[in-house]
C-alpha cells in the first residue's frame, strides 16, 4: 500500500548541490518538498544557499555511498518521512570533473555502483519512482561515423580503459536499475543525458564553457583540449531539468530516454561566440585531449518528443548569454571558491 501524501510529495535529489542537481531542486520546489543530499565532493554550497530559506527544502550533508536511512535525520521530521516516505528519487550524484577525474576514480566507481544500489534500496523501501542520470557515454566511442544516437542503439565500451569507472560505471548503473525494476517491480527511469551547460558550473574544472567565459573576461587564451574539430552537442540546463521532470511524470511504459541538444557544434565556434559576446581580445589555444573530456555524439530526440513532449527550447546564443551574465555577477565568488579548493 502506498504511503499517504499529506500535502506535497517528498522528492529526494542526490547530488542536489551540483550543477544540474541544484537547478533541479529549485524547479521541484514549485510542486514538491525537496530533500537535497550531497557531500560537496564535486559541488558547491553556494549553488543551494538561496534555497535554504524555503521551508519545503532541506539539505542533508551525506555520502550517497553509505547506506541511507532518511528517518535518522531529525530535520526531516517536518516532511513526515516516517509516515509519508518519499515518492520520487532522482539519482544525480556522480563526479564529473575532467580536471579531477584521476583523483575521483574510486569515488566515481562507487557512486555508479554502491551509490546506485543504496538509492535503489531506498526506492524499494518507500515504493518510490526512481530516475537515474545516465550518460551518452553508454553508447561508446568512435561516434564520428554514426548518425544521431537512438535509445535502442547498443554501444561498445572498453571496460578496462582509463575512463572505465565512469563509462562502464554508467552501464552497470543502468543494469542495476533494470534489475531492480524486474525483481522489485520498481517504476524506474534511465535518462541518458548529453552535454549540458549553464550557471552553477564550477570554474577551472576543464568543463570548457565556464572556463572559456572567465578567460575571455580576463583576456586570457581560451583552451580547447583537442583540435579544431573537437565537437559536442549542447543543451542548456533549464531545458535538461524540464526534460528530467517530464520524464519522471511519465508512466511505467517510458523507461529510457535521451535528453540533450540534437545539433553537433565545434568548440571552436562556441569559443568564438563567447569572445564576441564578451568583446574580448582573447585568442584560441589547443592543448592535448583530457581522458574524461571526449567527443560525444548527438541524441536522436524522436522518442523524447513523442513520450515526453520535450525538445530543447533555449538557443545556444541565449544560453551562452545567460551563462556569461551569471559568471560576471558571481565572478569573485566563483574564483574565491576555486582558490579555496586548490590551496
Per-residue pLDDT reduced to its tens digit, 92-122:
999 877 667 788 889 999 999 999 999 999 9
> By C-alpha distance, which of 89, 30, 22 is closest to 56?
30
Within a domain: 182: yes
pTM: 0.92
Query: Going along the chain, which residue ranges are E strands?
Result: 9-14, 32-38, 57-61, 88-91, 129-135, 188-193, 196-197, 222-225, 231-233, 235-236, 256-259, 264-266, 284-287
Domain assignment of residue 185, yes or no? yes
Residue at 102 is within a domain: yes
Can you tell me whether residue 58 is helix, strand or coil? strand
Three cell numbers, residue 53 = 530559506
Q: Is 197 a residue of the active site?
A: no
Does residue 274 belong to any structural domain of this protein? Answer: no
* Catalytic option among 90, 130, 166, 197: 166
Cell of 108: 566515481
Residue 170 lies in a domain: yes
Q: How many domains does the chain have?
A: 1
Mean residue pLDDT of the chain comes to: 89
State the average pLDDT over residues 296-314.
94
> What does the alpha-carbon distance between residue 318 and residue 330 come to, in Å, rounded to a whole number?
18
* 250 domain-assigned: yes
CB 327 within 8 Å of CB 333:
no
Q: Residue 173: give its domain's CATH number.
A: 3.40.50.720
With a cut of 60, say whether residue 235 has pLDDT above it.
Answer: yes
Q: Which residues contact 84 (CB under 8 A, 6 or more apart)?
A: 3, 4, 5, 6, 10
pLDDT tens digits along 249-297: 999 999 999 999 999 999 999 999 999 999 999 999 988 877 666 667 8
Q: pLDDT digit string (tens) for 125-144? A: 999 999 999 999 999 875 55
Domain-located, residue 305: no
Which of residues 102 and 34 earns the better pLDDT score?
Answer: 34
pLDDT higher at 297 or 326: 326
**286 in a structural domain:** no
What the block records as the C-alpha cell of 147 is 548518425
Give the domain range for residue 140. Answer: 9-197+235-259
Compute the 3-state secondary structure of the chain and give helix, strand, coil in percent, each to the nearest 5: 40, 20, 40
Query: Half-sphere exposure (CA, 13 Å, Cβ side) for 199?
Result: 20
Amino acid at each position: 500500500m502506498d504511503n499517504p501524501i499529506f500535502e506535497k510529495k517528498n522528492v529526494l535529489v542526490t547530488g542536489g548541490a551540483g550543477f544540474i542537481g541544484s537547478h533541479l531542486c529549485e524547479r521541484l520546489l514549485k510542486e514538491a518538498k525537496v530533500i537535497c543530499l550531497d557531500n560537496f565532493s564535486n559541488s558547491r554550497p553556494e549553488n543551494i544557499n538561496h534555497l535554504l530559506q524555503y521551508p519545503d527544502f532541506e539539505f542533508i550533508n551525506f555520502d550517497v555511498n553509505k547506506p541511507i536511512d532518511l528517518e535518522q535525520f531529525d530535520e526531516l521530521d517536518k516532511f513526515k518521512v516516517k509516515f509519508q516516505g518519499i515518492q520520487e528519487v532522482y539519482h544525480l550524484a556522480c563526479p564529473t570533473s575532467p580536471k579531477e577525474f584521476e583523483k575521483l576514480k574510486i569515488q566515481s566507481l562507487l557512486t555508479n555502483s554502491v551509490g546506485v544500489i543504496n538509492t535503489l534500496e531506498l526506492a524499494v523501501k518507500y515504493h518510490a519512482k526512481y530516475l537515474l542520470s545516465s550518460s551518452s557515454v553508454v553508447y561508446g566511442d568512435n561516434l564520428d561515423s554514426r548518425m544521431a544516437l537512438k535509445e535502442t542503439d547498443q554501444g561498445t565500451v572498453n571496460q578496462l580503459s582509463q575512463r572505465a569507472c565512469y563509462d562502464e560505471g554508467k552501464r552497470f548503473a543502468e543494469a542495476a536499475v533494470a534489475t531492480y525494476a524486474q525483481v522489485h517491480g520498481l517504476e524506474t527511469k534511465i535518462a541518458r543525458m548529453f552535454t549540458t551547460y549553464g550557471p552553477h558550473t564550477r570554474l577551472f574544472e576543464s568543463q570548457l564553457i565556464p572556463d572559456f567565459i572567465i578567460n575571455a573576461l580576463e583576456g586570457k587564451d581560451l583552451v580547447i583540449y583537442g583540435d579544431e574539430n573537437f565537437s559536442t552537442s549542447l543543451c542548456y540546463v533549464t531545458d535538461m531539468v524540464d526534460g528530467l521532470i517530464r520524464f519522471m511524470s511519465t508512466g511505467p511504459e517510458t523507461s529510457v530516454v535521451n535528453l540533450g541538444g540534437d545539433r553537433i557544434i565545434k568548440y571552436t565556434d562556441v569559443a568564438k561566440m563567447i569572445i564576441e559576446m564578451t568583446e574580448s581580445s582573447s585568442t584560441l589555444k589547443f592543448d592535448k585531449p583530457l581522458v574524461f573530456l571526449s567527443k560525444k555524439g548527438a541524441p536522436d530526440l524522436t522518442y523524447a518528443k513523442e513520450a515526453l513532449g520535450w525538445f530543447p527550447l533555449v538557443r545556444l546564443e541565449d544560453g551562452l548569454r545567460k551563462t556569461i551574465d551569471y559568471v560576471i555577477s558571481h565572478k569573485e565568488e566563483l574564483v574565491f571558491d576555486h582558490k579555496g579548493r586548490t590551496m
